[in-house]
Structure 1
């Protein structure tokens, strides 16, 4: 089936990256399966991660990834048509089953489906707890998990920081690990632990080989606390996430109550 939206989006992104001299290094491109379904599992440190994770499969095996993303993005007047045109999969956070079933169908049809198992951006830039959905999708579709680690993308646009989409010369590492093939009887919880352990090791390697360091005291925010940066620790970041989720829930409840009175 012809792709009318995905190729120009990729070309546009690459043009912008070249103009900004974003120094992209892809490691492990040979690990992208040439054919067949696969669940691409990426860490999440930036609002742009789907672009870079998807770029890894395009460069690795000329394959396009269909990402699962919250349905709000599909309702936006600009991003909505693009997301639908690229055949990404909308997720309703109040009822994720239809999205799950759509993802399994896509995997069985031979597509690469992209998942962020942390669900939201990690403010600590370390791996948060993983949800088991990726492992369950791989088991239900009979496809492998493809671990992907991104590093450097947080410098461009991340949660709690202003957009710096015009920042130049930022190095970005895209590391693709060996596919993880499930065996009959593998439990999703155990597979998820194995996946997270593999991705933790990959993230450590990506951080060690990253060619840039903070330029001064005001530029340490993008470095994790355990590496001497001023990003919040995982525990502090999780507390901030909980506060934000509670505030959103309160706003939704207030809006629903106000609508009920109208």
Structure 2
């Protein structure tokens, strides 16, 4: 029993009810009642991790999500994340987060990962990182694919959040476990193919608004194509690197003083 995690889930369910969110969930039986497993989830919105834990409650289990270290550094969210045994991911030291995830899997935990790493602006599946497959192989546990669709309507990258009573339908589909096997690259390719098929299946039964920003171009929406979204991601990443370089240079100047000033 985990009173704090259970309380947070209760608060989340109250919030979901207040928002009028309408969940359609299938495949909960694929979440194991015991033992470790990697839960691989697609990523279209900021609230995905709150929805991804719902199917696991069918077996009264909790998912330990891998999340950005910045969330753990926050004075409010940090203690909460640690209390729920989530796993911090430091982009500068990925090895440590990987080690912690494997340890959790070997201890019989469910570890939630987003193989795309960041939100997909196109709402199509981006290229997957191989971390989920590598962790599964090292820990000797399966990877369970999960698709969430509709969460981008609540809050996604580059668009206003809609946290009021929107009555938004959200579909969650859990797929059959994929047993670990080498090489990890082939397992990752299978995972991507499986989740893409699941995504298309879920979309067939979902009502999409023509021309809406949250609808993929392929389905008549105005979301960027996967290629356009990739270019946007690359531009944003380049800007982050440039900003970090500027901040580092400013810190170094502050420590060493301004040579121009000392020479005057």
Task: Indicate the residue corresponding to 1:44 in structure 2.
Answer: 43
Question: For residues 253 and 190 of structure 2, what CA distance do their matches in structure 1 show?
Answer: 50
Q: Is the 8 A contact 2:124 2:226 kept in 1?
A: yes
Alignment of 1:92-103 (within 5 A): 92-103=90-101
Normalized against structure 2, the TM-score is what?
0.94
Deviating beyond 4 angstroms after TM superposition, the runs of 4 or more aligned structure 1 residues are none
Matched, 1:30 2:26: no
Q: CA deviation at 1:20?
A: 1.5
Aligned pairs, number:
254
Q: Is the 8 A contact 2:116 2:127 kept in 1?
A: yes
Task: Indicate the residue corresponding to 1:221 in structure 2.
Answer: 213
Deviates more, 1:97-106 or 1:72-81: 72-81
Matched, 1:8 2:3: no
Q: CA deviation at 1:4?
A: 3.1
Matched, 1:240 2:240: no
1:110 alignment partner, SS class: coil
Unmatched tracts of structure 1, length 5 or more: none
Alignment of 1:1-262 (within 5 A): 2-58=1-57, 60-183=58-181, 186-210=182-206, 212-214=207-209, 217=211, 220-262=212-254
1:114-149 deviation per Cα after TM superposition (whole angstroms, max 9, x unaligned) = 000000000000000000000000000000001000
After superposition, the CA RMSD in angstroms is 1.0
Normalized against structure 1, the TM-score is what?
0.95
Unmatched tracts of structure 2, length 5 or more: 255-264
1:137-165 deviation per Cα after TM superposition (whole angstroms, max 9, x unaligned) = 00000000010000000000000011111
Question: For residues 132 and 72 of structure 1, what CA distance do their matches in structure 2 show?
Answer: 23
Task: Indicate the residue corresponding to 2:257 in structure 1.
Answer: none
Question: For residues 26 and 233 of structure 1, what CA distance do their matches in structure 2 show?
Answer: 27
